[in-house]
């Protein structure tokens, strides 16, 4: 029972501390939000993405073998996803985009900018390219699709890859996510404000009431001294509280 009471008292004290420092917490939250906005708009370079869709499907008109061919295409997709990011595809792509759009990155930069995705049991492979320039991202994606369809015929000895949706320019940046950054800045600022308020309270050794002397330090309250400054004259009012415990002991 006493443990529950102590927990309740501690929670009440924490809430009272937060209420007393609410202005500082709000100020820290505002500062965190402003910093997040400044970083998102002025210090983070926006990036754009463009996607090309490739269909893996053999041109088979025989209905008896069509299902078998489809299953073979689904199994081949994992291999194609791996090949798409290999140097055998991206090296000629890098050469082309350097000539056409003056791409400044190297092969590792190109590999890190390419993302391959595929839905379960789908024969469509999506190749997404992210770059600081929306037009360069589109050119890279389309170049990957062109070179991959040519290379895979020679490598696999089969013509089962076609472009179903060419990449187009997307003028909306995919990063930074300004709304998410503002929310993170708001939460971090609020958390910092709360931590500062609690730490400040823990480090404050000022005695705020007489109960602290009796309950925490086990001291006897003898009285209060008030300091009044009136011009050049100082007045001190002393209120003495008599300790009657000794008198009771004498009576006994």
Residues 43, 203: contact at Cβ < 8 Å? no
**Residues 19-63 pLDDT 10s:** 889 999 999 999 999 999 999 889 989 999 999 999 988 765 555
Confidence of residue 200 (pLDDT cuts 50, 70, 90): confident
On the question of pLDDT at 73 being above 90, the answer is no
Beta carbons within 8 Å of 169's beta carbon, 6+ residues apart: 50, 134, 135, 138
The more confident residue out of 248 and 108 is 108
DSSP state of 216: T
Q: Provide the 3-class DSSP secondary structure of residue 50.
A: strand
Residues 96, 139: Cα–Cα separation, whole Å: 10
For the chain, the domains span 1-44+176-204, 48-165, 207-252
Quote the percentage of the chain above a pLDDT of 90.
Answer: 46
Residues 233, 104: Cα–Cα separation, whole Å: 80
Residues 176, 168: Cα–Cα separation, whole Å: 20
Q: What is the pTM of this model?
A: 0.67
Residue that has been written with the tokens 């009576």 in this structure:
251
Give the pair of three-digit tokens for residue 185: 């800045």
Asked, as a colleague might, if the bond just before 176 is cis with ω within 30 of 0, I would say: yes
Residues 220, 124: Cα–Cα separation, whole Å: 82
On the question of pLDDT at 198 being above 70, the answer is yes
**Which superfamily does 48-165 belong to?**
EIF_2_alpha (3.30.70.1130)
Confidence of residue 213 (pLDDT cuts 50, 70, 90): low
Residues 74, 152: Cα–Cα separation, whole Å: 15
The more confident residue out of 212 and 108 is 108
In the prediction, which pLDDT does 140 show?
96
Beta carbons within 8 Å of 141's beta carbon, 6+ residues apart: 50, 51, 52, 127, 128, 129, 167
**Residues 120-163 pLDDT 10s:** 888 899 999 999 999 999 999 999 999 999 998 888 877 788 89
3-state percent breakdown (helix, strand, coil) of the chain, nearest 5: 60, 15, 25
The more confident residue out of 151 and 11 is 151
Single out the residue of 84, 62, 60, 57 nearest to residue 73, CA to CA: 57
Question: Mean pLDDT across the stretch 181-197?
Answer: 94
**Residues 75-126 pLDDT 10s:** 888 888 989 999 999 999 999 999 998 899 999 999 999 999 998 888 899 9
Q: Sort residue 104 into left (φ over 0), alpha (ψ -120 to 50) or beta.
A: alpha
In the prediction, which pLDDT does 77 show?
86
In the prediction, which pLDDT does 252 show?
45
């Amino acid at each position: 029972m006493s443990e529950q009471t102590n927990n309740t008292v501690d929670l009440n004290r924490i809430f009272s501390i937060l209420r007393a420092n609410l202005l500082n917490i709000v100020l820290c939250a505002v500062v965190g939000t402003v910093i997040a906005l400044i970083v998102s708009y002025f210090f983070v370079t926006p990036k754009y993405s463009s996607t090309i869709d490739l269909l893996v499907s053999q041109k088979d008109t025989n209905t008896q073998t069509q299902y078998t061919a489809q299953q073979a295409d689904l199994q081949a997709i994992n291999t194609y996803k791996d090949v798409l990011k290999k140097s055998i595809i991206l090296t000629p792509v890098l050469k082309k985009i350097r000539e056409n759009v003056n791409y400044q990155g190297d092969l590792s930069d190109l590999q890190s900018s390419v993302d391959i995705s595929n839905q379960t049991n789908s024969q469509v492979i999506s190749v997404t390219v992210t770059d600081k320039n929306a037009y360069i991202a589109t050119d890279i994606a389309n170049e990957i699709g062109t070179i991959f369809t040519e290379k895979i015929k020679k490598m696999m000895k089969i013509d089962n890859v076609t472009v179903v949706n060419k990449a187009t320019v997307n003028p909306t940046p995919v990063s930074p996510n300004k709304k998410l950054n503002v929310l993170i800045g708001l939460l971090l600022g609020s958390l910092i404000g709360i931590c500062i308020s609690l730490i400040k309270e823990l480090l404050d050794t000022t005695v705020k009431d007489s109960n602290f002397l009796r309950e925490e330090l086990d001291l006897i309250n003898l009285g209060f001294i008030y300091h009044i400054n009136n011009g050049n004259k100082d007045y001190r009012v002393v209120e003495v509280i008599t300790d009657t415990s000794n008198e009771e002991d004498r009576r006994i």
